[in-house]
Each structure stands twice: as C-alpha cells, then as structure tokens.
Chain A
Amino acid sequence: MLAEILSELRSELIERWSDEILATYPRARIRFAREPDRFSDPLAHILRRDLPVLFEIAAGGVFDGDRLREALDPLCRLRSVQEFSASEAVQFVFLLKKVVREALTAADWSRAAARADVLAFETRVDRIALHAFDVYTACRETLHEIRTREAGRRSELIVRRFAEKGRRAFAEPVDPEQTGTQPPADNGHGGNEP
C-alpha cells in the first residue's frame, strides 16, 4: 500500500522533504536556478545526493548502518556548526514523516493495513533519526577536540624546546668541585631520558 505510494511519488516526496529542510534555515535562503555545484551550493548538493539514499532506507530498503551514517554525515556535520540547537539540527529527519503524512489521502488513512504500514515506516524514520543524533554528537565532539588540539599546535615548538632544554640540563655532567654536590645517582630508570 504505502510502498506503492512511496515508490510512485518518490521524487516528489524527496523534493518536498528537501524544501521543508531548506525552510528550517532561519532567514530566507536564495534558490539558485541551476544545477547545484558542490562548491557553489553545498547545501543543495548535499540534499540532492543524500536525501534519496535516506528516503530509500526509510521506505524499506536494507537498513545498512554504514551506508546510513555515510548518507547522514554531510548534512548532520553541516548543521552541527550552523545556527541550530541539537534538536533543530536533527529535526530534518522527522520532516520526512510530515511530508509523507501530508501525501496520504483520507482514503489511505481509512484503511487499517495502510495505517500499520505508516507506523512501520515512521518507526524506520525514528531509527534513522537516532542515528542522526549519534552522527551529530560525534561532530560536536570533534569540534571540541579541535579546539584543544589547536591550542597545542600553537605552542608545540615552545613546549618541545623547553622539554629538550630540560633534557640537556640533566644530561650535562655536573662538576662536583664547582657545585660542591654529587651528581644524582643513576636510579636505573634512565634518569630523565624520555
């Protein structure tokens, strides 16, 4: 039942889903009337490439975790650094439910079998959304790691130089006659050598 509708209206549903996603952008977004180039219109490019894959999985295709994450990653990654809260960022998956519900007629809803199909479909969409949360969270985690890593890179040479100076200071033999002290006895652990 539903499968037929999904397959018949496939491209129309994907397009409506895409429009719904574009409408989540806080301010009106320009629609460039041409083929979306991946570099001059990255969002449109991502939507065109990945939504069909997500739609196919939601419509009953093989639920392959790797393939799913690969299709979710670009959009989740982009939305993870755009002006969205976590819930707004992954909301795009749920919009597919809205689009499909709106496509069904009253006659479709009146049949019990169709309702069961819709529930099954929506459960699949929910599963996709859960994966989207995972991808989104991983992206945010990467962002925080990057902040830490960058601070390290900025001072990497200074730290290395101090470490090297410290190593050499301990490696130089101490003249007991000048300092009046004995060099530290080798404790068998290689001293301060890394």
Chain B
Amino acid sequence: MAEKLKPEQVIDIDYSPPEKGWLDDAKIDFPATKGTWNYAATPESMEYLELPNARKWQPYEDDWKLPADWRRILFEGLKTRLKRFRSLKLFMDICVRCGACADKCHFYLGSGDPKNMPVLRAELLRSVYRNDFTAFGKLLGRFAGARRMDIDVLREWFYYFYQCTECRRCSVFCPYGIDTAEITIVARELMWELGLGIDWVNTPVANCFRTGNHLGVQPHGVVDSLEFAAEELEEITGIEVNLPINKKGAEILFITPSADYFASPHYYTLLGYLMLFHEIGLDYTWSTYASEGGNFGLFHSHEMMKRLNAKMYAEAERLGVNWILGGECGHMWRVIHQYMATMNEPADFLETPRSPVTGTVFEHAKQTKMVHIAEFTADLIHHGKLTLEPSRNDHWVTTLHDSCNPARGMGLLEEPRYVIDACCNQFHEMPENTIREQTFCCGSGAGLGTEENMEMRMRGGLPRGSATKYVADRFGVNILLCMCAIDKATLPAVMDFWAPGTEVGGVHEMVGNALVMSGEKHRDTDLRSEPYPIVESQAHLAPPEETKTEEARDDA
C-alpha cells in the first residue's frame, strides 16, 4: 500500500526496471480496448474542411489507409511547428522527467496506466523528436530515449493523445511550466495532416464553420429554440422577455454555447440569461451566425481554432455592436484568453467593454473586447442592481466545479463564487486539492465526450466524481454547479456513476431562480418547472392571499 514507507521498506523496493521498456511496448489493441477511444472523422466532414486524406476508416481496423509518404509528412509537419512555436521546442527540450505531473492527471488516477501520466504522454512525441531532431537521439538512439516513428507508435499517439482533455492541471504542478495541453494540440494537429482524427471533434468544427454551431442547426432553428425558451419563461414568470436576434446596432453581442439552446441541463442556464438581460433592460442581441461559443477548433488545430474564433468577431463587426458578452462556456474562453491576441487581428473595431448598468469599465478586456457573464453578473450584484431571493434556491445544496478553462485557463475563481453566494443559501466547497486552479477536469473535454468512449470518460471522471461524493455524503450537496457546456453535457454521466443522486446545473440557472423580476407573477416552480417544496423559510414566497392571512394571524 502506498503509505509512508519505513526505512526497511524503502530498502526493499525493487528498482530493477520491467523486462520491456515503455519504448518497446507501443502496440495498442483497439478491438480489445473498446470503450476507451473515439470513432474516426467521417470523410464528409473532412472534405468540408478541405482536410487531406478524407476517407472512411476506423481505429479498430488493421489498415488505417495512410498516405504512402506519411512518415515524411509527419517529419515535415513537426519541423515546421518546431520553428513556428518556440514554446514547443522548449517543451521538447526542457523536461527533466521529475514526475511532479505524474499523479496529477485525472486519466492516470482513474486508469493506473503509466502512459496517462502527462510526462509519459509527452514522451510519446518527445521520443520521436529526439530521434529526428537531436544529435544525442540520432547518435545514441534508445539510450537517449529516442525512437523511430512507425505504425505502432502512430497508433499509440492516436490512442493516448485522444486521452488528454487538454485541461492543463498537470502544467500547474510542472516546475518548468510545460503546458502538456499544447503538446497534445500539436500531436493532434500532426495527425490531422495524415487524415487521423476523431469525429466528435471534426463534425462539430465542420458544422460550426457551415452554420455557426456544432449541431449544424440553421438560423431558423436557432430562432425557434430561443422563442420556445421565451414562451416557457412566460409560463414560469408571467413575463414576456425581450428577445432581440441579429439586431444591428445593439450595444452588446451575446455569444454562448449552442448546447444552451438544445440540451439539458444547459437550457435552464439559458433561461437565466434571458431573465437577467430582460430585467436589467440590456441593449443586446443574439446571433444566428455566431450561434456557438464553444471553439471546437482548440481540440483540432491552431488553424481551426483561429477560423472559429474569427467568426465571432466577424459577426460583431457585421452587427456593429460595441462589445461582446460571453456565456458559460469553457474552451471559447481559453481561446479568447490565451490565443486570440496573437491569432486574429486586434478587434479594434470594438470598444472596451463597459457595463451599461453600472458603468464599470472592464479594463482587463481591453484587448479582446469580450467579458465573461460571471464577471458581468458579479459586477451587477456588487452594485446592488439585482433583487435576489436566495431562498428560491433552498431546495439546492450547491457546490462548484471550477470548469478548467474559465478557472485554470483564465483565472475566473472568485466571480462564480460571489454570484452563487448571492443567489444560494447553501454552498459547500469540495476539498482544496480538487478546486480552483487545482480543479479536476470532467474527463470528457477536448472532444472526448462520446458514448463510445464512456469507459475512459468514467476513468477520467473519477476524481471529480469522488470529490462531489465527498461533499454529497458530508453536507447533502445535491447539485454540482459549473460554467462550461461540456461540463453540463458530460458531468451528469460522471455523477450517475460516481456520485449518484447529484444533479448538474449552471451558475446562471441559480441566478434565474433567485432573480426577482419586476412585474413577475407568483413563482411556484423553479426554472426546471419543479414545484417549490413548501418550507417555512419560503413562507413569504407563498401566494399573496395566504401571506395576508399569515400576517393577519400574526397581528391578532
């Protein structure tokens, strides 16, 4: 057992390496590891994006139908990228294999497979780099940890680089600051040059490129969904909310993941946004073209990331808005925060965001002209611009899953907590080493959230699942809040397996529940249309007649 070892036990440790080194153990048996990899990209979606080697194939097949000169393509591809990204060159050379990252990856913790350790995952690429680009590797070969690229190594790449969610938890602990996510990005990018990639990355990218959102929903479908949401809101609140779509000259363009319109539990967060914007009288617009926040390009290649990011700004320019407000999304924010500035032209046709309600100027968004909804709402609450009734969330005992990209990727740690604190009476943090910048990934990000990959997702979801179960058992937590559409799509599965009985919701679902709107009817359900339990603390929320009777009785 991995307890603190006594001196005599330390002496007993067998330091002899296994018979077969990891460099010689590359063979992946895809049919035997069903449940831990994703299906290949379809030729249709690849052709749409003009990607090379579009063909029908699957990872479990013996013949991957690679181009004849695939080794040369990979070599040239890596050579180009080593020149283009100084960071990559550095990450290839400076790792001392100290192992600080080893037990930080959720996939390693759940699988026990050493190749899921970030250091070893990176070594998969590094070993080939050493062989082809370093003098030591060329001269000493295996002794210098170098190996020649062959079909088994390539299969190993495909297997393990699609077992990384690019969450960057490992890089928090790396003394050199090696960003293993960027190594994964480059490895995936190289594989795309051979036509190797997964469908749940490529089809969403193709769809985003074609219609503006990952499901490929056309403009009238987006309008229809939003109108439906507005109608449901009217039933719940009695208020017909303002619903501006493609409105030219609006002050703000609002962009959120498309799953917010179509999937559950995202939808309740969408209802929260609609209520909030109506209540503060925001001059804003939805767009049927920039109808997706999620940048699936981040999971694909730098090129796709750039293309999808540019689309949002093109729409902001077309509509003539002043700035962009972004919803509860994950990877959209990572791209905005870390890549956009050097990837697309500066958005100087927009203005530095300024809240029209509080007058706060969001100086930190001077460059990207884009503000996160949690910052925006926290600012509204801070200035007392919202009437909130937290007891309307008393049926929820909440905890917060810091979604990797907004939390670790852009440092949004306090804002969601501030908003939840104002909207909910019951909140409990998960243990310290599982939240904030040390947050554990949902295990299904970066395009891995598919049904065929369910076993790997459950392995990756173990740490988040057990941290949730920990607070559920101790404090009765019954909802895990988060600020990312992939979290909302995939954490329910993680909860069902590791922390049964815990729901998943968005921060702005809690805002919507608590928000007292002017002219609203008596609220007898939450945004999920679940009737409020009658509890004493909510007596003041009872219908007016009953309240009067209560008061009369009190007076008597």
Contact = CB atoms under 8 A, between A and B. Distances in A.
B18 A32 contact: no
Contacts of B434: 39
Contacts of A158: 262
A18 interface: yes
Given A82-B111, A156-B264, A143 B433 contact: no
Contacts of B454: 143, 146-147
B1 A78 contact: no
A123 interface: no
B467 interface: yes
Contacts, number: 133
Contacts of B5: 33
A153 B264 contact: yes
B492 A35 contact: no
A81 interface: yes
Nearest to B262: A157
Given A15-B1, A30-B102, A33-B2, A154 B459 contact: no
Contacts of A38: 466, 470
Contact of A149 (B261, B433, B496): B496
A89 to B, nearest CB: 12
B2 A44 contact: yes
A40 B267 CA distance: 34
B228 A143 contact: no
Contact of A42 (B10, B109, B264): B109
Contacts of A10: none
Contact of A30 (B111, B114, B115, B455): B114
Contact of B455 (A36, A39, A81, A155): A81
Contacts of B4: 33-35
Contacts of B498: 77
Contacts of A189: none
A151 B103 contact: no
Contact of A29 (B114, B264, B459): B114
Contacts of B109: 39-42
A18 B109 CA distance: 17
B404 interface: no
Contacts of A153: 263-265, 489, 492
B344 interface: no
Nearest to B488: A153
Interface residues of B, number: 54
Given A28-B18, A81-B110, A82-B111, A39 B264 contact: no
Interface in A136-192: 139, 142-143, 145-147, 149-151, 153-158, 161, 164
B463 interface: yes
A81 B262 CA distance: 29
Interface in B33-60: 33, 35-36
Contacts of B117: 30
B496 to A, nearest CB: 5
Contacts of B228: 157, 161, 164
Contacts of A27: 18, 25, 112-115
Contacts of A139: 497
B103 A30 contact: yes
Nearest to B25: A27
A15 B5 CA distance: 12
B462 interface: yes
A32 B2 contact: yes
A37 interface: yes
A18 B1 CA distance: 6
A48 interface: yes
A114 interface: no
Contact of A142 (B2, B470, B497): B497
A77 B461 CA distance: 12
Interface string B1-20: 11111000010010000100
A111 interface: no
A33 B82 CA distance: 37
A78 B267 CA distance: 32
Interface of B: 1-5, 10, 13, 18, 25, 33, 35-36, 99, 102-104, 109-115, 117, 224-225, 228, 261-265, 267, 431, 433-434, 440, 451, 454-455, 458-459, 462-463, 466-467, 470, 489-490, 492-493, 496-498
25 contacts: A19-B1, A27-B115, A29-B112, A30-B103, A35-B3, A36-B2, A37-B433, A39-B431, A39-B433, A40-B433, A77-B498, A78-B110, A83-B36, A146-B454, A146-B493, A147-B454, A151-B451, A153-B263, A153-B492, A154-B263, A155-B262, A156-B267, A157-B261, A157-B262, A157-B264
